[in-house]
Structure 1
Amino acid sequence: MNLGKFNSYLNLIYLALFIFLFSCQKKELSYFEKIAFNDVALKDPTPAEWRYNKKEHDQTFQDFQKLKKIKPEEGKNIIYLQPIGEFNILQKKQIELTKQYLAKYFQLETKILPTLSNTIFPKSAKRIRSNNQEQILATYLLDSILIKKKPKDAVVLMGITEKDLFPRPKWNYVFGLATYENGVGVTSMFRFYDGNLTESNFNKSLERLLKISSHEIGHMFGVSHCLNANCVMNGTNNLTETDSHFARACSLCQQKLNSSLKYDNQKRLIELRDFFEKQNLNSEFLRAETDFKILK
């Protein structure tokens, strides 16, 4: 073999070796692929839980992408909170913290509107339960009040009330309700503190409020109930079920949100982690910290 042929063969060997080594290199995982390792699988539902009787479609990322949905745009990119009712100091503090949380969760500017009085509810939008508890028709609140109060620069508007809510006559109550089309929703604080809001139950109540508010706004942005993992977007029937759900959105639901809201994932994660730590929401802090560590 002459020297020229030998060099040609040698070059081919080097090229083949380079291609082999390059193909063996691990593909860099995306943010969502990395945090997916921290997703926690859903357990089989019990008879009292949402998924037991609700047969819902599993919304894939492709389904979400095809969906016509609300997105922030220039001049229409602020989340507004609309308090309705009479709130004490602790309740006002929770609303302020909810504002701070939602700004970090969705990475959008969030503002609180002046409080509306309970006198805005007509008799036709109220009912009295057997325990003498007054409830407000949530659909009336969405369709007849909040849609008219939505500021021009709002991407979504979330009402927060201290009154109990019901969505339709046959239902006992609902924690929150939202519309995909109009970008309005409402969350009730009424059942979150088991009677009276105090310093001792403040954090548990706050965590419930954060979960339901971010859940309902997630719906406004087009995210359906999650069947992928334990997630803030899981459907819920009762407080026990709500408490068992994480405030953390699973990797799939985060991917859906990020595809529309276009935020910096790591910045969001750090801000949420720091919020949980500051508010002593320890379980959620540990979950955020675990996600942060897996990115390193």
Structure 2
Amino acid sequence: MKKLLLLIFVILFACNSKSDKNDYFEDISENDIKLFPPKPVDWLYSHKERGQSFEQFLNSKHIVPTKENNIIYLQPMGEFNSLQVKQIELVREYLEIFFQLKTKTLNDVSNDVIPKHARRIGPDQNEQFLAGFILDSVLKKEKPQNGIGLMALTEVDLYPKPEWSFVFGLASYRDRIAVSSIYRLYDKSLGNKDFTLCLERLLKICSHEIGHMFGLYHCIDADCVMNGTNSLQETDEHTLRLCSNCQRKLNSGLKYDNKKRLLELEKYFKENKLKEGLEFMEKDLKSIQ
């Protein structure tokens, strides 16, 4: 009888231990918001994507942190004012929480590294840098110690090729490098609401691009920071939150404590007055109680 009870206890303990993590994703899935049918101006209207299931993610080639490569790096490029410098630090803090990996900011790189042939005056009569040059001729040459991903941030506008008017950013997920511009993310004042809106956009763009570096495809199942976007308006319409399926994928590779991450995100959103993000974290935390 005692052996039977012991066996039952072991089986129950094993089942509970195995399901605890899965229960987390099932619990927070109730907070996922289904996407509306795309409008003609939306990303999914013109990009017929298949999405990525959890099983497809597991079977894909994607990077995972190791003792040798476990730090995300930010590379500021250009001349930033004090408010922009503050935003870059807030982005660093956020990425460290979002991915639960050490995130460091490198010393600024001067715009002088961009030669004349990789610059132009764009359609809006503002200077622009060729995004691909930054990836291939600047970032690829850098090999930060223990780096797993490298993202440059520039205050100058970007363009990907001559026929395009501009691009918010560009990435090479194979090389784990990306560049994003803050030029078009605010109304040039960065005061009060403008600061918060620009920060929210930066957090979405940076976490989205680095999410790709860790193997996440565009999400087509729910409102999620991994949704593809065609414009700032569409970026603003999507949430900072990873849906439950994308969280499951990320966690399977990075192996972080889900509740710890939620609590740290909740604190970050509260301190930086990011109301929507805070509401989502509070809902997720309530769901796992």
TM-score computed with the length of structure 1 as normaliser = 0.88
Give the aligned length. Answer: 273
Q: Does the 8 A contact of 1:83 with 1:114 survive in 2?
A: yes
Distance 1:240 1:88 in 2: 25
For the pair 1:239 / 2:235, whether they are aligned, the reply is no
- Partner of residue 121 from structure 1, selected from 114, 119, 142: 114
Distance 1:230 1:92 in 2: 30
Q: Does the 8 A contact of 1:85 with 1:117 survive in 2?
A: yes
Amino acid at match of 2:126: Q
**Could you list the per-position Cα deviations for residues 73-116 of structure 1 after superposition, in whole angstroms to 9, with x for gaps in the alignment?**
11210011000011000000000000000000000001000000
Distance 1:224 1:51 in 2: 13
Give 1:169 deviation, angstroms. 2.6
Secondary structure of 1:159 counterpart: strand
Give 1:199 deviation, angstroms. 3.1
Distance 1:267 1:189 in 2: 30
Name structure 1 gaps, 5 residues minimum: 1-17
Give 1:70 deviation, angstroms. 2.0
- Partner of residue 210 from structure 2, selected from 217, 220, 234: 217
Counterpart of 1:99? 92
Q: Does the 8 A contact of 1:162 with 1:190 survive in 2?
A: yes
Counterpart of 1:144? 137
Identity of aligned residues (%): 51
Distance 2:170 2:124 in 1: 23
Q: Does the 8 A contact of 2:266 with 2:278 survive in 1?
A: yes
Q: Does the 8 A contact of 1:69 with 1:181 survive in 2?
A: no
Give 1:62 deviation, angstroms. 1.4
For the pair 1:269 / 2:256, whether they are aligned, the reply is no
- Partner of residue 55 from structure 2, selected from 56, 62, 77: 62
Give 1:197 deviation, angstroms. 2.1
User: Which one has the largest radius of gyration?
Assistant: 1
Distance 2:198 2:177 in 1: 23
**Could you list the per-position Cα deviations for residues 204-251 of structure 1 after superposition, in whole angstroms to 9, with x for gaps in the alignment?**
110000100000100111111110100000011111100111010111
Distance 1:102 1:82 in 2: 13
Aligned counterparts, 1:245-256, within 5 A: 245-256=238-249
Distance 1:177 1:31 in 2: 33
For the pair 1:155 / 2:148, whether they are aligned, the reply is yes
For the pair 1:50 / 2:43, whether they are aligned, the reply is yes
Counterpart of 1:5? none
CA RMSD of aligned residues (A): 1.7
